[in-house]
Structure 1
Amino acid sequence: MSTVVLVGFGGIGTQDHQTDMYLPAFARHPAFTLVGTLGSADPGGAEKAAKAASDHGLRHFTDPAEAFTAADVVCVAAPIGLRGGIVADAVRAGKHVLADKPLSASLTEALRIQRLAAEHGVVVVPAHHIRLGGALRSARAAVRAGRVGLPWNVQADFLVAGGDPSPLGELVNLALYPVDAVCSILGLDVTRVYATGGPALVTLMLDHPHGVTSTVVCGRTGTLHGLAPAGLATHRYRVSGSHGVLTVDATKPALRVRTAERQSTAWTGPGTVDALLDVLAAGIRTGRPEIGVADAVRTLRVIEAAQRSIDTGAPVHLEADS
């Protein structure tokens, strides 16, 4: 069983995925034991860490070196500007890491973490957990098994309704999820990016090897009746191949729950964050996690290229960036 310390209780804007997602998932996972919390340097970080420790009977650390010494795994969900540095420090201390998404504020930071992880022989798992949903796992298996023949195009829609807009824009905040899912389904990298849109809604047109293309529409809509704030309004994929078309509703399998106040969905099995911790546990055992730093590097490369494309109005070829 691996011991875990939670570092940072922030994110992008008002996010606190540590409290909302990772803390409860680690608390119920049989492969991990929570031992403490550590605040990051952002305003209020220490107070949030102290409260979480008090609420859950954990130790509240104030010294990073002491916190890292007490744990096998460091779960980093610090504000995005601090995240990459904290992940790098944990890796230098020889600790395995689960990192909130995106792994770091820049591709340069992610490449540095990748080098450090290889040098220190530790596992770093970024929170690309959306691809672990049952429908997307099935889609990946079907495409890899040739159920649609040779794939030539994927259309992906990932729309969140309401909630707090990201101060960095939804390209940085949300787009890595569908981009990562598309690359996972196809088993292909991205060679060229053309993107258009604004802070709330973006469209990415991606080229992959062997003439395969994909289009990703991603962003945040206004509040929709019956959906909780920041709920997934649309999450779907259409994979076209030489011998058929596969249409995937990635919000399923789930139960739809209607009350007098709102409509929501409830998963019929373990959620994707629980599956992410399964990936982490298996990665620690084998040294080869299903999701690793290379996935974060790939998606950050695409996201940064997309922003350059939006800024210039021209496509960006990724071979020149590698």
Structure 2
Amino acid sequence: MSQNASQNAGQNAGRNASRAGNGVLRVLPWGSGGLGSQDHQRDMYLPAFREHPGFRVVEPADAADAPEAGGLGDAIAETGAQVVCVCAPADERADRIVEALQAGCHVLADKPMALELRDAERVAAVAAETGRVCMPAHHHRFGAAVQAARGALAGGRVGLPWNVQADFLVDGGDPCPQGELVNFGLYPVDVVSSLTGQAVRRVHALAGREPGRSAVLLLDHEHGLTSTITVGRLHGTAGAPGMALHRYRVSGSGGVMDVDANRPGATVRTAAGTRTAWHAPGTVARMLTALHTAIVTGRPPEAGPADALAALRVTAAAARSLALGAPVALDPSEV
């Protein structure tokens, strides 16, 4: 992209962002690369953006033939996008996020936001420098049951939490080439962080019976809190992917709270496969509402680069722990 095109992209996006409170936000989908066979852009984000009243999807004129032919900066300049939904391949995702932020756009970033800590740190620095909203797509923290549980915990409903037991198990689907710890691990780690607000200090990871498909994370948090997270992918019982278990049990000094993160929803099994029918806005729709609110109000987003960085530090430490067969301490200065 030329220097003039880059300047125009930044100027256009800046003017558009300044008018964000006056109407619907224009969102540009960029990329369709995920881990393995994933295409979260097609399957999750685009449908949710199109249904959300706060956003309008815009695409370059040549998007049907070559979605990325002209470069991201040119696409931003052409469409006047205010938000970019970045689903570039994982090894280049951080570069595209930084490019969108520096062009003056807000960003929804597919997970993981970056594969390497240094790239996640770079994204966090650019987001802080530009003042744009950069929300990692940790959509499970926005579930109705999780949000209600967080409010109850903050209100002292079970006293001071001392332990969290979590299960995040997906039924069927294509295995992730990088392993399910990389693929799924950040979700329950992020939810536990959202629920308790306590950073992780030490990670001890144990491999499941089939390495790569499942793992158990034994986490030591600040202030004596501990958590045990089982994460992985089952072989499948219904011929189609779906959430098998997503739950949290929080033990506190005054009681125990059980959280079924699949609520309020019902599992629907048909000849075509298995899906969850939500009886309220789903996690992705609620995430987009939080994104829209942060942009138009100027308030800090409920999830930002620091949350993605914190989760990545834990999953990276878990991978080291598996390789070493021993616990791994996190540097307190980085938490």
Q: Which runs of 5+ in 2 are unaligned?
A: 1-23
Q: Aligned residue for 1:314? A: 326
Name the CA shift for 1:178/1:296 in 2 (closer, same or farther; >3 Å): same
Q: Does 1:207 align with 2:223?
A: no
Q: Does 1:25 align with 2:31?
A: no
Q: Does 1:175 align with 2:189?
A: no
In 2, the alpha carbon distance for the partners of 1:18 and 1:262 equals 21
| Counterpart amino acid of residue 31 in structure 1 | G
Deviating more after overlay: 250-259 vs 277-286: 250-259
TM-score by length of 1: 0.90
Q: Aligned residue for 1:64? A: 72
Match of 1:144 among 154, 158, 171: 154
In 1, the alpha carbon distance for the partners of 2:279 and 2:249 equals 23
Match of 2:256 among 237, 242, 245: 245
Q: Aligned residue for 2:64? A: 50
Q: Aligned residue for 2:174? A: 164
TM-score by length of 2: 0.87
Q: Aligned residue for 1:57? A: none
Contact kept in structure 2, 1:166 and 1:173, CA below 8 Å:
yes
In 2, the alpha carbon distance for the partners of 1:96 and 1:261 equals 37
| Counterpart amino acid of residue 62 in structure 1 | G
Q: C-alpha deviations, 1:54-85, integer Å up to 9, x for none?
A: xxxxxx86332211222111100111112111
Q: Partner of 1:191: helix, strand, or coil?
A: strand
Match of 1:277 among 272, 288, 298: 288
| Counterpart amino acid of residue 123 in structure 1 | V
Name the CA shift for 1:37/1:10 in 2 (closer, same or farther; >3 Å): farther
Percent identical pairs in the alignment equals 51
Q: Partner of 2:91: helix, strand, or coil?
A: helix
Contact kept in structure 1, 2:202 and 2:329, CA below 8 Å:
yes
In 2, the alpha carbon distance for the partners of 1:194 and 1:263 equals 34
| Count of aligned residue pairs for this structure pair | 305
In 2, the alpha carbon distance for the partners of 1:63 and 1:97 equals 16
In 2, the alpha carbon distance for the partners of 1:78 and 1:134 equals 29
Q: Partner of 1:36: helix, strand, or coil?
A: coil
Q: C-alpha deviations, 1:187-212, integer Å up to 9, x for none?
A: 11111111111210011011111101
In 1, the alpha carbon distance for the partners of 2:160 and 2:305 equals 28
Name the CA shift for 1:288/1:261 in 2 (closer, same or farther; >3 Å): closer
Contact kept in structure 1, 2:104 and 2:132, CA below 8 Å:
yes
In 1, the alpha carbon distance for the partners of 2:241 and 2:325 equals 30
Q: C-alpha deviations, 1:194-251, integer Å up to 9, x for none?
A: 11112100110111111010000000011113xx522111111110011111111111
Contact kept in structure 2, 1:122 and 1:287, CA below 8 Å:
no
Contact kept in structure 1, 2:110 and 2:136, CA below 8 Å:
yes
Q: How far apart are residue 257 of structure 1 and its match?
A: 3.0
Q: Partner of 1:94: helix, strand, or coil?
A: coil
Contact kept in structure 2, 1:61 and 1:67, CA below 8 Å:
no
Name the CA shift for 1:50/1:255 in 2 (closer, same or farther; >3 Å): same
In 2, the alpha carbon distance for the partners of 1:183 and 1:250 equals 15
Q: Aligned residue for 2:39? A: 16
CA RMSD of aligned residues (A): 1.9
Q: Which runs of 5+ in 1 are unaligned?
A: 39-45, 54-59
Contact kept in structure 2, 1:87 and 1:97, CA below 8 Å:
yes
Q: How far apart are residue 52 of structure 1 and its match?
A: 9.9
Name the CA shift for 1:75/1:261 in 2 (closer, same or farther; >3 Å): closer
